Chain A
Amino acid sequence: MTAAATTPDAVIVRTPAEIKRSRYLGITYLFLAVVVLWFFARWSVDLGNFTFKLARPTDPSAPDLTLSAGRVTLIVGVILAAMGGVQLARGFGKMNNLVLAIGLFLFIFAFLGWATAQSSIGAFSMVGMMKTTIVRSVPITLGALAGVMSERVAVINIAIEGQLLGGAFVAVVVASPLTGGEDPTLILGSPIGGWIGVGAAVFAGMLLAWVLAVLSIRYVVDQIIVGVVITIFVTGMTSFLALRWLADNPELNKGPIFKSIGIPLLSDIPFLGPVLFDHNIFVFGSFILVAFLTFLLFRTRWGLRARAVGEHPKAADTLGVNVYRTRYLNVIIGGAVAGFGGAFFTLGSVGRFDENMTNGRGFIGLAAMIFGRWHPVGAMAAGLVFGFADAMSQTLGILQTGIPSEFLGMVPFIATILVVAGLVGKARPPAADGQPYIKQ
């Protein structure tokens, strides 16, 4: 390795695992190229053009993107084939993941182009899909952030699903009676009762995180089991209370829905404006939290100490860091983030609670945390990937590709499996992850 590092034109030394992965990637590109050329390009020749709409009627105007389906699929197929060839011949070295991202992007672009051209509509709203991507990514990103906070101090948090569900329930149950049909004081365009509901959801998330912390730190119970049991408990409890309270009292299940806020000037940018800068507080909140937690973990002394606790608690303890207090604090901060994400399901989107409405989003968040390599920014990027998978399956449903909607619904789950199976290479968790610390 040192020889390769010092001599500029030396052949890059690759480990057997890298060579194997490179081979898999190369075969994948060739396979995708065959799919694009054989299925899409062949059929697309007589399909004519497809149109991606970059603005909806109410958005700042932007031109439509109209391309010939035949040409696009042909070009993409050829590029993918070339990428496969290069990958097999010598690999892309450090650019591997970037190239993989480009390859997948091209494939999806060609796929969507083909799907649009073959549908009777012939056009679909790219703005809508991108906006949906962002919105759908929010609970996954927030769940992943909760995981990052807790696992950076070496406490495995599988209770994210339970924290999201608990937050969703508490938010609507607190906010509904407070707003009850009236038009009360507004803060940032939303009723004050809604804000109190969000606060209650955050508190509920913290409470559940505290239970996780006590059981796994003080009582040294297996952390994965604690997490699963908390999720089972919250699922049972919210369903129980939903039947006991909400079924006969619909007024308790009618929360305010937070309105979108357009950021002045920025939301007037064509395409990007509506996609990025015209959302409700949950979306902006997740952007802000990603930035804030990144700063907290990687730019402050406190963050350094927290990470030390996650990597080598004994060393941290020796240097005077209070391991237990750090763990409690981080896990509970994570719970607050997850509780906020839970409120999104009710107050941020539909305004009412349904049994088990998080539908595994917390577990996908867990995968997003691994995909994002235990880093807040990575967590958001991973969240966006899952959000895109969600949004695309929705779009394809509208375009009527003939693919059964159940298969489209599987896309995010299959993507999760591919991600944890190491499609993007192995990531290293914090060294002490999952291990209880017992002070000598």
Chain B
Amino acid sequence: MTEPQLPPETPAEDNESAEPESRWTAFMNDLTGVNVDWRSALLVPVLAIIAALAVSVVIIVVSDIELWREFSLSALGDAIGQAGSAMWALFTGSFGSLAAVSSTLAFSAPLILAGLSVAIGFKAGLFNIGAEGQMLMGGMAAVALGITIDIPVFLNVPLAVIGAMIGGGIWGGIAGLLRARTGAHEVITTIMLNSIAGLAVIWMLSTDFFQPEGRQDPVSEDIAVSARLPRLLGFLDRNDLRVHFGIVVALLAAYAIYWVLFKSTIGFEFRAVGFNPDAAHYAGMKVTWLYVSVMGLAGGLAGIAGMTQINGLLYRASPGFAAGIGFDAISLALLGRSHPAGVVAAGFLFGALRAGGLDMQVATDVPIDLIGVIQALVVVFIAAPALIRAIFRVKTGEEIGQLTTGWGT
């Protein structure tokens, strides 16, 4: 391998920026108490989002089938109009009302948790594509607890969190163990574990333990009411305010991961392994154990993400309950530069895309799958700032560099 570059700088360590501090930066630093070069930290992500949205407008227009059937200026106008109202629906559906904001926050919770799962992997030089499968396993653990145990909510919810962490953690730990002991690359093993988890869920939902009596389709019994994550805006007594306690769990987890990564010894070891496994080994760190614990922790976080889907939103399991969140988490972690704070911000953005995407599909017939395209484009622009430089003619910070390792290591 070439020398791996240092993983993206963290805001906390990024205080010796060469550029003179602008007034805006000084203001933001005073405001937040964190000393960061805000311009370089935010410029690329913001421009990347703008560029991705612009490309998606082009995609909506070009993919209008009427234009292909018979081209006319009025058809082109219609297509542009549709793209415009799609973007508007994307915005109003995510920030336009209290219900929209609540929906954005509800979608953000599992996204932030799964994003943290991928991010912590990147910090240790491991590419966890398995968040989807780990979510499924964590979610099923939460279902198993939720349908059997009915204790007061302040005990039952923490129990669900712990159960989900263990369920997802084991699933992630398998990949870590395989990587550490046999060198099997986590990219392949986690993808395979996703497929295996998907089938395992379908099987589990056909067993008597999970399936409600008299049902033949793959669906579980409802979890106990005491296992549900409380709705944060429940006191307003409106059905459409779905934001639940999961977002609090997600923010607490983000802070915990920040602390683990940057303030604890084991977090230092995680980053050391990510930076250079050989050096970490020679420094006396147990690389095998670190790989297992990183993947176990990553799996645990994704497991909690699966739990928020079940206990916060659906209240029962059906085969697709992870809903692709585990894959969105990859783009999300890259957008957030694998830093917990970045992941939270990116999680809100992706939550907004999911919430707005639903409105967009209903209001304008533009399929919600467009948001997957937007996310992929954002990551391409983030990962190749040279493209951003070329499009917007601005100066930007460093390239991301190598985050993962190839097969040979």
Residues of A that sit less than 8 Å from B by CB: 156, 158, 215, 219-226, 228-230, 232-233, 235-237, 239-241, 243-245, 249, 359-360, 363-364, 366-367, 370, 404, 406-407, 409-410, 413-414, 416-417, 420-422, 426, 428-429, 431, 433-436
Q: Jot down 20 A-B pairs with beta carbons below 8 A, ordered by A.
A: A158-B187, A220-B399, A222-B400, A224-B187, A225-B334, A232-B330, A235-B372, A236-B371, A236-B376, A244-B65, A363-B188, A413-B192, A417-B178, A417-B193, A422-B184, A431-B408, A434-B1, A434-B407, A435-B2, A435-B406
Kindly identify which residue among A226, A404, A406, A421 contacts B383, using a CB–CB cutoff of 8 Å: A226
When distances are taken between beta carbons in the complex, the residues of chain A under 8 Å from B370 are: 236, 240
Known: A236-B375, A240-B63, A363-B192. A429 touches B406 (CB 8 A): yes
B123 interface hit (Cβ, 8 Å): no
Chain A's closest residue to B175 (CB) is A417
Q: How far is the CA of A436 from the CA of B384 in the complex (A)?
A: 14
When distances are taken between beta carbons in the complex, the residues of chain B under 8 Å from A229 are: 330-331, 334, 376, 379-380, 383
Q: How far is the CA of A359 from the CA of B400 in the complex (A)?
A: 30
Give 8 new A-B contacts, CB below 8 A, not counting A421-B184, A422-B184.
A215-B383, A219-B387, A221-B384, A240-B59, A363-B191, A416-B192, A428-B408, A434-B405
B344 interface hit (Cβ, 8 Å): no
When distances are taken between beta carbons in the complex, the residues of chain B under 8 Å from A420 are: 178, 182, 184-185, 188-189
Structural contact, B406 and A410, CB atoms closer than 8 A? no
Give B79-118 as 1s and 0s: 1 = Cβ < 8 Å from A's Cβ atoms.
0000000000000000000000000000000000000000
Kindly identify which residue among A244, A366, A407, A433 contacts B188, using a CB–CB cutoff of 8 Å: A366
Structural contact, A409 and B188, CB atoms closer than 8 A? no
Chain A's closest residue to B402 (CB) is A222
Q: How many A-B residue pairs have CB under 8 A?
A: 167
Structural contact, A429 and B408, CB atoms closer than 8 A? yes
When distances are taken between beta carbons in the complex, the residues of chain B under 8 Å from A367 are: 188, 192
Q: How far is the CA of A241 from the CA of B63 in the complex (A)?
A: 7
When distances are taken between beta carbons in the complex, the residues of chain B under 8 Å from A431 are: 408
Q: How far is the CA of A123 from the CA of B270 in the complex (A)?
A: 55
Q: Is the interface of A mostly helix, strand, loop or mixed?
A: helix
Structural contact, B407 and A416, CB atoms closer than 8 A? no
CB distance from B194 to the nearest CB of A (A): 8
Chain A's closest residue to B361 (CB) is A243
CB distance from B151 to the nearest CB of A (A): 32
Structural contact, A406 and B406, CB atoms closer than 8 A? no
Structural contact, B203 and A232, CB atoms closer than 8 A? no
When distances are taken between beta carbons in the complex, the residues of chain B under 8 Å from A224 are: 127, 187, 403-404, 406
CB distance from A19 to the nearest CB of B (A): 16
Known: A215-B384, A414-B192. A409 touches B199 (CB 8 A): yes
B15 interface hit (Cβ, 8 Å): no
B367 interface hit (Cβ, 8 Å): yes
Give B382-409 as 1s and 0s: 1 = Cβ < 8 Å from A's Cβ atoms.
0110110000000000011111111110
Q: How far is the CA of A272 from the CA of B106 in the complex (A)?
A: 58
B275 interface hit (Cβ, 8 Å): no
When distances are taken between beta carbons in the complex, the residues of chain B under 8 Å from A221 are: 383-384, 399-400
B196 interface hit (Cβ, 8 Å): yes
When distances are taken between beta carbons in the complex, the residues of chain A under 8 Å from B380 are: 215, 226, 229, 233
CB distance from B49 to the nearest CB of A (A): 15
Chain A's closest residue to B400 (CB) is A222
B276 interface hit (Cβ, 8 Å): no
Q: How far is the CA of A414 from the CA of B193 in the complex (A)?
A: 8
B206 interface hit (Cβ, 8 Å): yes
Q: How far is the CA of A409 from the CA of B372 in the complex (A)?
A: 27
Q: How far is the CA of A364 from the CA of B188 in the complex (A)?
A: 8
